[in-house]
Structure 1
Amino acid sequence: MIGWEDVYKVVVATVPLYVALMLGYGSVRWWQVFTPEQGGAINRFVCYFTLPLFTFDFAANIDPFKMNYLFIGADAISKLVIVVVLALWAKCSSKGSYCWSITSFSLCTLTNSLVVGVPLMKAMYGQLGVDLVVQSSVIQAIIWLTFLLFVLEFRHSFSLRNFPSPAADDKDPSSHLEQGISGSTHHPMNLSNFCSLMKIVWIKLAMNPNSYACIIGLVWAFIANRWHFGMPSIMEGSVLIMSKAGTGTAMFSMGIFMALQEKLVACGTGLTVIGMILKFVAGPAAMAIGSIAVGLHGDVLRIAIIQAALPQSITSFIFAKEYGLHADVLSTAVIFGMLVSLPVLVAYYAILEFVH
């Protein structure tokens, strides 16, 4: 049962993030320390250095031989359900688009498992909750954040090659403009163009350390746990000196981004509400479907649903900012998501106590 001490632990875990956020905000809005161009450079530093090492660090310290593969299967099914729904929406609805499908996928599926999830799950379900939420973080980093990187890089390369938008309606020039592509200069897509585009995308992904940081960490975890030896201290220290700055510098970069917007709620009230619904309703609902499909029950079922309702991943904002896609929506989701997550998650915890 959650007590005030447990609530305090969650607050202790999240308040430092807001301190970093406010320092970043103040450095631009109040003190004029950084210019917009320098803010972009800071975000790139986070994207290519601190976050990959942070990802490697926690992946290298798990025990892959004790992972719950039914739980992982349920998580995969839930993500695939969301991908199918968003693909149909983009294809069949006049309001659907490729760009908004990417952002909606981030909102529905990518969670801040480590910072908020670990202390909260420990309070709710003990070590079982911690183990499962860490496992979901590793799988998220290996598969789903890599998938997000792929579709973002595909979109970016697509626009640079002046191909028509995958979800664009030729009758609606705004759908081309949304991706920065000139309804008069685009070239028709054919097999040769597609192969050329995919080559560009894979080369860029191969040069992005976020694509393989978690995979290298997981390989190390397999080797270390199979033959029972630890990471050399010189290697561990080299990783930790950067990885410990991961979430702090990410929040600092988000604060800079907020300071450069005209409004505190950068994306507006309507999109904020939609983002919260996708985060705290659609994501857990899809996870419930996946969990039932593989036969999860008891505490594992409850943990699966609650971890899907954790607040928005900070990494998703960093990627959105780097690739220029709805960073205002993702930043708002991170900030407000962490504010409202505690009462929402406690409500889920209370309701799911009646589920067997």
Structure 2
Amino acid sequence: MDYRYLGRSGLKISEITYGNWLTHGSQVENDVASACVRAALDAGITTFDTADAYANGKAEEVLGAALAGERRESLEIFTKVYWPVGPKGPNDAGLSRKHIMEGINNSLRRLNMGYVDLYQAHRFDHETPLEETIAAFADVIRQGKALYIGVSEWNAEQMRRGQALAREAGFSLVSNQPQYNALWRVIESEVIPAAKELGMSQVVWSPMAQGVLSGKYLPGAPLPEGSRATDAHGGANMISRYLDDDILSNVAKLRPIADELGLSMAQLAIAWVLANENVATALVGASRPEQVAENVKAAGVAIPAELMERIDQALAPSIIRDPTLTVSPGSRP
């Protein structure tokens, strides 16, 4: 495993981060989830990402239990706040001072930890003054409940405004967590340049385009039984945008490139994301321990420039680049 700095900070994180969005607390049993976490640790992964809204808090509980007994100082734990949790009352979502303060306390209780390394604004809250949000995050840091603050799916203007206020408050935003992969490149034209300017790096989710870039979905073929695309509660709505025969045909053109590098298509997809210098880590999940062992083989892989160009050529008709697609809900969900 290789390690990279998170933004313009001194914190190093593993190039591959284990994430438990669609698995822990919902799709897989707790003992399997624990086995996946153990496989991640065995592979050298030290960074783990979750959120309070994942399975309405259960994902944090499962991750905390799976990591119990590990040396806390040897781990980097990320969680997030914004989406509805609990009974989903009027203050159970967003980035108000009330929700942030209650959110961090509840996350630490579920994780059974004294602090998290990175606390992230899971989206931009249009209903709360940004000054209130940043002041609350500053207090979370001063209280020692989080060491660093990041955001997720903020656009370039929101990141600039947030960073300016954060620096006035005595800290810096160090990261953004966007969807990014060889098909979904909406952050390239505006978000990544802004992040470089602001000293922030990307913590990427969906590096395999919800599994499409793994090559398991074939044009004209039935959806694989038990796959994410067939699970209404496990991300079927997210993957549907990619399940077009033209897109799948273009993805299939990547197989010879993966073969040439001695990689699986899933490993190629992760290595492609890590080739962007502004990416600190790629989030991968797993429903089986062996998936973790395979995915980590993408760490440290260098893809030659000519093969990067061939990837672009193969996917060109299917690549989505519109920067306006980096968007947060206009009102709290």
TM-score (norm: length of structure 2):
0.24
Higher strand share: 2
Higher helix share: 1
Instruction: Identify which of structures 1 and 2 has the higher relative contact order when contacts are C-alpha pairs closer than 8 Å and 6+ apart.
Output: 1
| Structure with bigger gyration radius | 1
